[in-house]
């Protein structure tokens, strides 16, 4: 950690930091233009990531029309996560722009998921496995402490090097931030901006940290960074919000293979109950009420212990 006058917002100086294998910047790329859009975090060993829905929408908004091989037009944008680690090469960091091959969000929430492209390790032939964070789907408690991690002051650019290879330049800062939960809105805060289950915290979230994990006192992810406003006067707190985890379990994924089963459509709730997404025991508080025609459940209830 670097020296910082604000102990509640600590910038990370170490690179690569161990958490950067789990929490990564997300960026959109269109030809040689690179657009940092937010933060995401790993929730399965196969590379499924969770982020904010508006982060995925920001990436989608960068898409431009491009001709297809069939002579038609389709929107084109590429998504990447910035991965860094020195596990296998302690003296050097390895990683780079890891492709994201699909993403999905629920239309009524500010939470989405995206999938890191599968790969195998050259030296072993085994699939790359990612270290996931554990989710806590229960309703957070007012007055409890929370921590978050994310990226800010991100810039990116691309182009062709003298050797004819594509190059990308990326700069970022990252920080741990902490605060406490001030209010909880089990259904919604309002009908326009925060029309989904969320909670308010006084932790500082800078632009770019959207989509990062909010972690409770037990060390589990209880929310996703959604929005923040700085204090308007000295002595005031940040006005920040996180999306709750449990409604995101209604997000559906297509053609997913779980273990030895044939590929099928599943929800994140199916994956959590099957042990493919790690959760704490508050998963027992999430109850499915009914399914809609699109295969996602329309209602879920969350009972406090």
Q: Over the stretch 225-282, which tens digit does the pLDDT of each residue have? A: 999 999 888 888 999 999 999 999 989 899 888 888 888 999 999 999 999 999 999 9
The residue behind tokens 């309703």 is 139
Q: Tell me: pLDDT of 116 over 60.
A: yes
Q: Are strands 23-30 and 33-42 parallel, antiparallel or unpaired?
A: antiparallel
pLDDT at 23: 95
pLDDT at 160: 66
What's the Cα-to-Cα distance from 36 to each of 110, 152, 297, rounded to whole Å?
18, 9, 32
Segments making up each domain of the chain, as ranges = 145-153+174-245, 247-302
* Tokens at 132, concatenated: 């996931």
Binned at pLDDT 50, 70 and 90, residue 291 comes out as very low
Fold for domain 145-153+174-245? Answer: Thrombin, subunit H (2.40.10)
Q: pLDDT averaged over the chain?
A: 85
Q: pLDDT exceeding 90 applies to what percent of the chain?
A: 54
Q: Are strands 48-51 and 145-160 parallel, antiparallel or unpaired?
A: unpaired
Q: Over the stretch 148-196, which tens digit does the pLDDT of each residue have? A: 999 999 887 776 667 767 677 778 889 999 999 999 998 889 888 899 9
Which is higher by pLDDT, 51 or 73?
A: 51
Binned at pLDDT 50, 70 and 90, residue 49 comes out as very high
Nearest to 63 by CA among 74, 76, 72: 76
- Sequence-ordered list of residues with C-beta below 8 angstroms from that of 192, at least 6 positions apart, any chain: none
Q: Tell me: pLDDT of 287 over 80.
A: no
């Amino acid at each position: 950690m670097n020296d910082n006058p604000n102990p509640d917002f600590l910038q990370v100086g170490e690179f690569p930091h161990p958490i950067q294998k789990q929490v990564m910047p997300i960026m959109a790329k269109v030809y040689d233009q690179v657009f940092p859009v937010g933060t995401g975090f790993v929730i399965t060993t196969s590379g499924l990531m969770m982020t904010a829905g508006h982060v995925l929408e920001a990436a989608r908004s960068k898409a431009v029309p491009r001709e297809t091989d069939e002579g038609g037009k389709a929107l084109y944008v590429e998504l990447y996560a910035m991965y860094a680690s020195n596990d296998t090469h302690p003296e050097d960091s390895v990683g780079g722009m890891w492709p994201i091959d699909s993403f999905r969000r629920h239309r009524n929430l500010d939470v989405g998921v995206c999938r890191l492209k599968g790969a195998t390790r050259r030296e072993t032939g085994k699939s790359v496995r990612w270290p996931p964070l554990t989710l806590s789907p229960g309703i957070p408690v007012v007055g409890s402490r929370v921590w978050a991690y994310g990226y800010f002051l991100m810039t990116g650019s691309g182009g062709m090097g003298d050797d004819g290879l594509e190059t990308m330049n990326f700069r970022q800062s990252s920080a741990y931030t902490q605060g406490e939960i001030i209010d909880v809105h089990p259904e919604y805060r309002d009908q326009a901006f925060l029309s989904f289950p969320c909670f308010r915290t006084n932790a500082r979230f800078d632009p770019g940290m959207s989509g990062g994990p909010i972690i409770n006192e037990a060390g589990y992810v209880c929310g996703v960074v959604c929005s923040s406003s700085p204090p308007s006067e000295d002595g005031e707190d940040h006005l920040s919000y996180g999306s709750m985890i449990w409604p995101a379990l209604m997000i559906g994924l297509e053609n997913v293979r779980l273990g030895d089963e044939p590929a099928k459509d599943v929800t994140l709730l199916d994956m959590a109950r099957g042990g493919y997404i790690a959760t704490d025991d508050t998963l027992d508080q999430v109850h499915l009420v009914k399914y809609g025609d699109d295969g996602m459940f329309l209602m879920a209830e969350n009972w406090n212990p």
